[in-house]
Structure 1
Amino acid sequence: MKEKHTFMDVIWRVLLFLWTLTILFPLAWVFYESLKSNPEFFQDIWALPTELQWKNYTKAWNQYGFGQSLLNTLYYVGGSLVLGMFFTTLNSYALTRMEFKGRKVIWGLIMLSLFLPGVNALVPQYVVMRELELTNSLTGLILLSSLGESVFYLMLLGGFMSSLPKELEESATMDGATLFQRFWRVVVPLSTPGIVTVAVFKFLGFYNNFLGPFIYLSDPKKYPIAVQMYSANKQMEYTADWVTLFAGVTISMIPCIIIYILFQKLLMEGATMGAVKG
């Protein structure tokens, strides 16, 4: 039977379509501006390029350092994501699936940290990093990002794990599975949608992180993409090479688009199941 659409359904679809345009139009505008020459850009920002200037991407990659910064970002984000997700998954399991004394107190202290501004931790974190000689190091930045757990991710993944039936672990225990085997072979596979959802959020957070790398890294050759974008923007005060900057912005968007295309189904599944079960 064909579904009937009311007048309000049409209105909502039109509003959603217009909202989609407000998101996609700036991205498309940045892309076609990156294919112009600087005189064309300053003459008319709305006109299409007369000749596609693909050399802007080569210039952004080499001269403005977006190539090196993208490699730095892959190392920083990849290391932080793998190490951080391991700790987040392990902590979520311990706080939601294990029974031990003081568990509620620990949860309460973790929830209390929601009311503490993260800026307050910048000074003590910097002092610790400096004493450990981890400043101006991407590896040190990975350790800092991985060990600094987020309450939001614990709540999201913990809520997903707590909805899994306890009988599954009890059956595995009867079959002789150890605690780590129950965690790794039973809970983790069943929590894959939730883990992917948290991983995507973490990826976006690490990829767009500006303040941490800006504070701890002093060598421009180690800048990730967010700090390199800021550095290139400062150079525009002297060069006004905006079309090359737009090319760099387009390059910086590519990894996020790829991640979304690859994991959009698991991301939607994890968000939906978390909303229903959590």
Structure 2
Amino acid sequence: MTTTSTPPSTETSTAHVQKVAANATLRHYLSRVAFAIIMTLVGVLFALPMVWLVLAPFDATPSLTLSWPDWTLDNFARLAENPYALRSIGNSLLLGIGTMMIVVVLGALAAYAMSRIRIPGRDGILYGLLLLSSIVTGTAAMVPTFQIITQLGLINSYTGVLLVMAGGILPTVIFILKDFMDSIPKSYEESARLYGAGPFRILRDVVAPIARPGLAFIAIWTVVQVWGNFLVPFILLRSPDLQPAAVVMYTFYTESGQADLRLISAFALLFSAPVLIIYFIVNRRYGFRFHGGIKS
């Protein structure tokens, strides 16, 4: 006696497929909702300090908590009375622009040479510079740096600070700019040579205009790195008249030794404004494309 199994009906198969599709759709929907909630929470956590930065300077009694301010401009009036506050922002601009000019010029020259000249072990040199500049940070190298600057007689001078900051940033700048130089066709330079242009004129009139997005990125990145640097100017500069804003902010305390949030909040807003203005101006004019790496 034989038995035959009956195949599942078409309705059952269709219902099973619909159930699986519904479950997949539900899982996809729940994952998207969970992702949106997590990203919203992360965005709120990043936005809260920015909101405090904008509101606290106009609060008569600012605190570390976020609240609707009791609007006033007295905090900025007190800040203007401080003999070092506004001067320190000018000092920061001087250090930032000075370091940026050194880094952009020397970095462009070195990156162009690395890109166009076949140096034995070139890639190893670049990776070594980048690795050492990442491992030997400012804190680890501060003692020998202080001794060198002292022997050179550059303590309490902007020259010593500019040299130390530019030297720490240059390896990364060369590494990044080399990729921009590699992307420029050599045929442009060959055409310029036919008309008698030398290497420096080719770099200035042919290579630099094409690499402007990279140079703009390096300029802004350098200013940001110098703008918030506390350790180097704190150790190498002795005179309060020469200290930049990142160091002067450290001195904003009340007579009882508590942090003066009225001065700190107002100064923090002024401290962040120049970098944001420079960024938006350069971004509007040149735009930014980040490149990094070594091309064979």
Q: Is TM (by shorter chain) over 0.5?
A: yes
Name the SS for the 1:221 alignment partner. coil
Name the counterpart of 2:198.
Answer: 178
Superposition TM-score, scaled by structure 1 size = 0.82
- Identity among equivalent pairs (%): 26
Name the SS for the 2:141 alignment partner. helix
2:218 pairs, out of 184, 198, 203, with 198
- Shifted more, 162-171 versus 20-29: the winner is 20-29
1:34 pairs, out of 29, 41, 57, with 57
Name the counterpart of 1:94.
Answer: 113
Name the counterpart of 2:91.
Answer: 72
Name the counterpart of 2:21.
Answer: none
1:23 pairs, out of 46, 63, 66, with 46
Work out the CA distance in 1 between the residues paired with 2:221 and 2:269. Answer: 21
Output one character per residue of 1:64-109: Cα deviation in whole Å (capped at 9) or x when no partner. 6320110111111111111221111111111112235564564354
Work out the CA distance in 1 between the residues paired with 2:142 and 2:294. Answer: 36
The 3 A distance-change label for structure 1 pair 19 and 260 is farther
How far apart are residue 235 of structure 1 and its match? 4.7
Output one character per residue of 1:98-130: Cα deviation in whole Å (capped at 9) or x when no partner. 235564564354245256422443222211211
The 3 A distance-change label for structure 1 pair 182 and 100 is farther
The 3 A distance-change label for structure 1 pair 120 and 32 is closer
The 3 A distance-change label for structure 1 pair 239 and 102 is closer
Output one character per residue of 1:4-23: Cα deviation in whole Å (capped at 9) or x when no partner. xx967787666555544333
The 3 A distance-change label for structure 1 pair 199 and 13 is farther
Q: RMSD of the alignment, in Å? A: 3.0
1:123 pairs, out of 137, 143, 146, with 143
Specify the structure having the higher radius of gyration (Cα). Answer: 2
Contact 2:57 2:75 in 1 (8 A): yes
2:240 corresponds to 1:220: yes
Output one character per residue of 1:144-167: Cα deviation in whole Å (capped at 9) or x when no partner. 222444322211111111111111
The 3 A distance-change label for structure 1 pair 46 and 165 is closer
Could you list the runs of 5+ residues in structure 1 that have no partner in the other structure? 1-5
Contact 1:56 1:247 in 2 (8 A): yes
**Higher RCO, Cα 8 Å, sep 6+:** 1
1:169 pairs, out of 181, 189, 199, with 189
Structure 2 counterpart of 1:122, one-letter code = M
2:280 corresponds to 1:261: yes
Work out the CA distance in 1 between the residues paired with 2:134 and 2:226. Answer: 22
